[in-house]
Structure 1
């Protein structure tokens, strides 16, 4: 009879894996900020604001 192997992934996480996970999460956040900024820049370059378009 074969046994299924069960893993306790929560317990298997080491400190190094936690650090890697945090670095990857930070890299994703940084990438998202950079992509949003690039999108805003390209949108603003295509549609420059005129003084009469300003709100206020």
Structure 2
């Protein structure tokens, strides 16, 4: 295997995808947490929805 083959292999690209997936997952978790918090606030105000 040449150096060029190693740089194009999926293993070389995978860490970037993992980082992107981790960032996306963290943002989705944060968004869900905020939405749940907002829903709880609406329920306390007497506006269930």
> What is the TM-score with the length of structure 1 in the denominator?
0.59
Match of residue 29 from structure 1: 26
Greater than 4 Å deviation, 4+ residue runs: none
Match of residue 13 from structure 1: 11
> Bigger relative contact order, structure 1 or 2, given CA contacts below 8 A and separation 6+?
2
What is the alpha-carbon root mean square deviation over aligned residues? 1.3
Gapped runs of 5+ residues in structure 2?
1-9
Larger Cα-atom Rg: 1
